[in-house]
């Protein structure tokens, strides 16, 4: 069975309820991680089937055996291709818990966290060519500024980029500790950890092309989720949440409303929860990762008239 210490599932009860599981249905867990969500889904299936994705090879050590379970060690942006390859038609529900797992953050050699002085990497899969070290040491000022401003949502992003460039000119930045030192002067007093969290998250998003992958996956759901099927997405970044919200409301990730000849909005999904779902105070106390979680649930329209 999966190791419970690998990853504590956020809003497990709410996300599983959002799938509206049917015992004989086919479901996808796009972010297997430690298997918390997958294990709960399988416990509620009879003759149903669960397909799980995760690009991190480390999760293979935490897989469990079940005749109704198929694991695919690839990025979820290839969901549609692998469903077709495995001759799987439309599914009854798709679940994704975005971002990085507690295990990945706690494993020093992966370089995801500023809490350790470790090799600068941040790749969720060894197949990713450009790690954080390459981006930090070779990225242009424009690229570094964009990453820090757009994904980190940090002010004075140009100053951050300038400090990194000055530091790497003196000596290559090869560890998380060296990276922290290069920007330490810019950290707000009393908010050092918050600023570093945003900075490291921004770099991780760029390394793993997480925004592009999310957009590709969401658009594939139009073909992969059957009418009446559910889409359950948990995000931890305002950009991700906005993309998910746009997709649910308009059927595209840009949030552009399109209408048919009769003026009806062309959106293949409808929101099940009118407002974004947040974790309760008790869960946040138990699991700090839940603090920034945003859960959205949608249902695939059952017929053309509902669009």
What are the structural domains, with CATH classification, of the chain?
A: 12-102+210-306 (3.40.50.150), 129-207 (1.10.150.170)
pLDDT, mean of residues 192-204: 93
Could you tell me which residues come within 8 angstroms of residue 136 by beta carbon, excluding any fewer than 6 positions away?
120, 144, 164, 168, 173, 179, 203
Task: Choose the most confident range, by mean pLDDT, from 96-100, 128-132, 243-247, 253-257.
Answer: 243-247
List, for residues 80-98, the tens digit of each pLDDT value: 999 999 999 999 999 999 9
Interatomic CA distance for residues 35 and 52, integer angstroms: 9
Question: 44 falls in which pLDDT band (50, 70, 90)?
Answer: very high
- pLDDT band at 288, cuts 50/70/90? confident
Question: Does residue 111 contact residue 23 with C-beta atoms inside 8 Å?
Answer: no
Helix 36-43 vs helix 12-19: crossing angle, to nearest 10: 50
First to last CA, the chain: 42
- What are the DSSP calls for 14-77, one per residue? HHHHHHT--TT-EEEES--TTSHHHHHHHHT-SS-EEEEE---GGGGGG----TTEEEE-S-GG
Q: In which band, very low, low, confident or very high, does the pLDDT at 5 lie, cut at 50, 70 and 90? A: very low
Q: Looking at residue 243, what DSSP letter applies?
A: H
DSSP H helices in 74-209: 79-85, 102-106, 132-138, 141-146, 157-170, 176-183, 192-207
Q: What is the mean pLDDT of the chain?
A: 90
State the pLDDT at residue 106.
Answer: 53
Averaged pLDDT, 6-16: 84
| Position 306 pLDDT exceeds 90 | no
Mean pLDDT value of segment 259-275: 88
Q: Where does residue 161 rank: exposed (0-12), middle (13-18), buried (19+ CB within 10 A)?
A: buried
Residue 42 has which token pair? Answer: 């399988």
Q: In this predicted structure, what is the pLDDT of residue 305?
A: 42
Residue 1 confidence (pLDDT): 35
Q: Greatest CA span in the chain, whole angstroms?
A: 64
Map tokens 């090879």 to a residue.
Answer: 57
């Amino acid at each position: 069975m999966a190791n419970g210490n690998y990853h504590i599932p956020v809003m497990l009860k709410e996300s599983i309820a959002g799938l509206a599981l049917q015992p004989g249905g086919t479901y996808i867990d796009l972010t297997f991680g430690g298997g918390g969500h997958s294990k709960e889904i399988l416990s509620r299936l009879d003759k149903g089937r669960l397909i799980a994705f995760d690009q991190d090879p480390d999760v293979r050590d935490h897989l469990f055996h079940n005749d109704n379970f198929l694991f695919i060690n690839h990025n979820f942006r290839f969901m549609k291709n692998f469903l077709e390859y495995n001759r799987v038609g439309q599914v009854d529900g798709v679940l994704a818990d975005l971002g990085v797992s507690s295990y990945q953050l706690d494993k020093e050699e992966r370089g995801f966290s500023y809490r350790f002085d470790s090799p600068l990497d941040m790749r969720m899969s060894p197949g990713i060519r450009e790690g954080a070290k390459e981006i930090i040491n070779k990225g242009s000022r424009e690229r570094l500024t964009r990453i820090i401003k757009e994904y980190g949502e940090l002010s004075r992003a140009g100053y951050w980029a300038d400090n990194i460039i000055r530091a790497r000119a003196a000596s290559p930045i090869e560890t998380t500790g060296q990276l922290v030192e290069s920007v330490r002067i810019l950290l707000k007093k009393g908010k050092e950890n918050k600023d570093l969290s945003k900075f490291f998250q921004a770099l991780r998003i760029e390394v793993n092309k997480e925004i592009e992958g999310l957009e590709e996956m969401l658009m594939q759901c139009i073909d992969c989720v059957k009418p009446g099927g559910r889409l359950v997405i948990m995000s931890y970044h305002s950009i991700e949440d906005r993309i998910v919200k746009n997709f649910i409301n308009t059927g595209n990730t840009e949030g552009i409303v399109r209408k048919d000849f009769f003026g009806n909005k062309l959106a293949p999904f409808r929101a099940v929860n009118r407002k974004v779902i947040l974790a309760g105070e008790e869960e946040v106390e138990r699991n700090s990762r839940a603090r920034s979680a945003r859960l959205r649930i949608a249902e695939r329209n059952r017929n053309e008239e509902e669009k």
